[in-house]
Amino acid sequence: MSVHIGILGGGNISQTHARAAGAIEGAKIVAVCGQNREKINALAAAFGARAYADEQAFFDHRPMEVVLIGSPSGLHAEQGIEAARRGLHVLVEKPLAITTEQADALIAACERAGVKLGVFFQDRVAPDLIKLKEFIAAGRLGKPFLASARVKWYRPPEYYSGSRWRGTWALDGGGALMNQGIHTVDLLLWLMGEVRSVWARAATARHDIQVEDTLVAALQFAAGALGTLETTTSVYPGYPRRIEVSGSEGTIVVENDRVTRADLRASSLDWAAQPEQAADERAVSPVISDAQGHRRIIEDFLQAIANDGRPLCDGREARRSVALVEAIYESARAGSPSFINSAS
């Protein structure tokens, strides 16, 4: 199968998208579009693609069947809707959109056009996390009752000051939660199910930005478990993401997407946990050196197109994390619990 792919965006994540797509047999990058001419020209030249500064001309490029969107988060819905209107399948970087209203508009546009919509949530293709998901779903952890997640990362001041969109409500949609924490929000929902209510506090502790750089939230899952979430870009020097899930049969610990500890009640439930091997590069840098997770997401998306199936994380599934983030921000603003409307 030969698929012609367009890259929308020229920043760090679009470089990752291009490397991931370029490594897939039968996938050809044919067009690249963005505002930074130097970056766009270099990226297009690296893959023998055509560079565009004008989005409308980019969307008109043919042959092209799929668009990978890596633009600022606040543009995802608008650009995805335009792509769908042109009959193009849409695979968008996280988050799906920065509000549920935008997300619903994008989902509806793709459904009307009969095109696939997917989101890059590469935790869902990490081997240890897949195994953990299956382990919990099979009841082998017993009844889950507590989940805690810590995303204690660091970004230097120039990460924000050198960008026109990072740290703004209009284009970033939030701060450490919406940008850095959204993967972990999706992972908690994937592992533990829907969240019923949240109580959160947010602060701009270190950076000169519009949005939060430090946030904590208490979660009540619909199935009865409780959870905590910490997410920040203000903690120097930055630490690996850590998730702990406890149930009646024990506790499993994840660091840097690997299960590093499994303390389980029954010997028949033994899990060969891996020692932590590599630093979590995300803790200190937005640049992703390993594109394997993104490649697997693209491969799954192309299979969904070929087989008329459902992408691993489609628009409706990705909307759940946007709804939860919205509720967390609402709780932080109001200083009271917030309840989640996860249905579109």
Based on the fold, state whether residues 217 and 297 are members of the same structural domain.
no
Q: Which residues of 283-309 are buried (b: 16+ CB within 10 A; e: fewer)?
A: bbbbebeebebbbbbbbbbbebbeeee
Closest CA to 319 of 163, 150, 98: 98
- By the 10 Å C-beta count (0-12 exposed, 13-18 middle, 19+ buried), 147 is classed as buried
Based on the fold, state whether residues 24 and 155 are members of the same structural domain.
no
Per-residue pLDDT of the chain (344 residues; tens, 9 = 90+): 699 999 999 999 999 999 999 999 999 999 999 999 999 999 999 999 999 999 999 999 999 999 999 999 999 999 999 999 999 999 999 999 999 999 999 999 999 999 999 999 999 999 999 999 999 999 999 999 999 999 999 999 999 999 999 999 999 999 999 999 999 999 999 999 999 999 999 999 999 999 999 999 999 999 999 999 999 999 999 999 999 999 999 999 999 999 999 999 886 656 666 665 556 778 777 777 789 999 999 999 999 999 999 999 999 999 999 999 999 999 999 999 999 865 55
Residue 239's domain is classified under what CATH number? Answer: 3.30.360.10
Look at the pTM and tell me if it is higher than 0.85. yes
Based on the fold, state whether residues 199 and 306 are members of the same structural domain.
no
Based on the fold, state whether residues 141 and 259 are members of the same structural domain.
yes
Based on the fold, state whether residues 118 and 93 are members of the same structural domain.
yes
Based on the fold, state whether residues 181 and 85 are members of the same structural domain.
no
The angle formed by the CA atoms of residues 14, 190 and 9, to the nearest 5 degrees, is 10
Based on the fold, state whether residues 303 and 274 are members of the same structural domain.
no
Q: Do 46 and 35 form a contact (C-beta atoms < 8 A)?
A: no
Q: Do 166 and 160 form a contact (C-beta atoms < 8 A)?
A: yes
Rounded Cα distance between 165 and 3, Å, is 31
Residue 344 domain-assigned (yes or no): no
Based on the fold, state whether residues 213 and 278 are members of the same structural domain.
yes
For 249, the 3-state DSSP assignment is coil
| First CA to last CA distance, the chain | 34
The number of distinct structural domains making up the chain is: 2
Residue 107 domain-assigned (yes or no): yes
Residue 111 domain-assigned (yes or no): yes
Based on the fold, state whether residues 166 and 279 are members of the same structural domain.
yes
Q: 98 lies in which domain range? A: 3-122+291-313
